[in-house]
Homo-oligomer: A and B are copies of this chain.
Amino acid sequence: MIEIALFGAGRIGKIHAGNLAAHPQVRLRYVIDVHAPSAQALAQQHGASVCSVEQALADPAVGAVVIGSSTDTHADLIQRAAAAGKAIFCEKPVDLDLGRARDCASAVEKAGVVCMIGFQRRFDPTFHALKQRLDAGEIGQPEVLLITSRDPSPPPLDYIARSGGVFKDMLIHDFDVFRWILGEEAVSVYATGSSPGFPEVAAAGDITAAAVTLRTASGALCQINTSRQAAYGYDQRFEVLGSQGLLQAGNLRPTEVVAWGRDAISQDKPEHFFLERYRQAYALELRHFIDALVDHTPVRTSIGDGIKALELAEAAARSWREARIVELP
């Protein structure tokens, strides 16, 4: 039985709490949140207690921490949890500052603790099945990867201002998908973007739509297009062209109803947003984390993956800001 301290009782914290509850070898012991009523409510629902960060990390019964609090708390919590010898599951990004993120990685390495970063897309059944078929050689050597990644609508402007920009906030997932699917690192990044319909985002020094191109040493090409707004909802697709064929990962739909009317034949829009779209992925990534702890096997998305994705996000942001191609070491 692994006892868990959960940092963050917000939207994603609730998801993680529910998924932890479903695992027979886990007990949620503490919920920690700066907003006391949220911590209280979530703790009560799962038979846990509310405590402070210090208490949680000082309790030897706690085997692992799950960090779902705000981004600016990640680095501190990772470093303190590592120092306390706790296994760590942390939402992306490690930190908005690459230097600080690297410090976290050093701390984790030094402490020798498990640290998994929440790149939940790798656990999505559709994405995961595609990756397995790719690795099994079904389409030969991967040559071109196209990623479409769109949100239904932008977050509030003050969130955007604190978000680290679209490359670190949104595209970081896509950079991880790029590395995971192609199994290679990028040698160059080109990014451009704009903010159609959102002049206030442009004024805040960010963009709402981006087009990114990555190249690997072997010559594989990746195009990512992203947008903070899509009138029809959340859109998460990618396709890989290989030497022997193509594999596509499509969206999920709430139902399989098809309506034939006077104007058109129509089906459901994609699942509304990430909490619905990646519901299974969130469950599977936490199960993987717990199983890795129980079985002493490596986690699939390490803090190293978190650093690498962050490096790509920084490079892409630089490419966009300086309007030039950025070479990677």
Is A215 among interface residues, defined by CB-CB distance under 8 A? Answer: yes
Which residues of A (146-164) have their CB < 8 Å from a CB of B? 146, 148, 150
Segment touching B, from A34-42, A98-106, A252-260:
A252-260
From residue A60, how far is it (CB to closest CB) to chain B in Å?
Answer: 27
> Which residues of chain B come closer than 8 Å to A192, judged between CB atoms?
188, 190, 213, 215, 221
A254 pairs with B194, CB closer than 8 A? no
Question: With A213-B190, A262-B245 given, is the CB distance from A255 to B144 under 8 Å?
Answer: no
Is A227 among interface residues, defined by CB-CB distance under 8 A? Answer: yes
Is A246 among interface residues, defined by CB-CB distance under 8 A? Answer: yes
Question: With A196-B143, A197-B141, A324-B325 given, is the CB distance from A245 to B259 under 8 Å?
Answer: yes
From residue A284, how far is it (CB to closest CB) to chain B in Å?
Answer: 13
Copies of this protein chain in the complex: 4
Segment touching B, from A25-33, A122-130, A304-312:
A122-130
Question: With A143-B209, A144-B209, A256-B249 given, is the CB distance from A197 to B243 under 8 Å?
Answer: yes
Which residues of A (205-239) have their CB < 8 Å from a CB of B? 209-211, 213, 215, 218-223, 225, 227, 229-232, 235
> Which residues of chain B come closer than 8 Å to A150, judged between CB atoms?
241
> Which residues of chain B come closer than 8 Å to A210, judged between CB atoms?
221
From residue A19, how far is it (CB to closest CB) to chain B in Å?
Answer: 12
Which residues of A (161-210) have their CB < 8 Å from a CB of B? 188, 190, 192-197, 209-210
> Which residues of chain B come closer than 8 Å to A321, judged between CB atoms?
none
A252 pairs with B256, CB closer than 8 A? yes
B244 pairs with A262, CB closer than 8 A? yes
Segment touching B, from A51-59, A64-72, A88-96, A264-272:
A264-272
Question: With A129-B257, A250-B256, A252-B256 given, is the CB distance from A245 to B231 under 8 Å?
Answer: yes
A259 pairs with B190, CB closer than 8 A? no
Other-chain residue from B143, B221, B257, B265 in contact with A268 (beta carbon distance below 8 A): B265
B211 pairs with A223, CB closer than 8 A? yes
> Which residues of chain B come closer than 8 Å to A324, judged between CB atoms?
324-325
With A231-B245, A266-B267 given, can you name 18 additional A-B contacts, CB distance below 8 Å? A129-B257, A139-B259, A141-B196, A143-B197, A144-B209, A144-B211, A188-B192, A190-B192, A196-B219, A227-B241, A231-B262, A232-B260, A232-B265, A244-B261, A245-B259, A245-B261, A260-B269, A263-B269
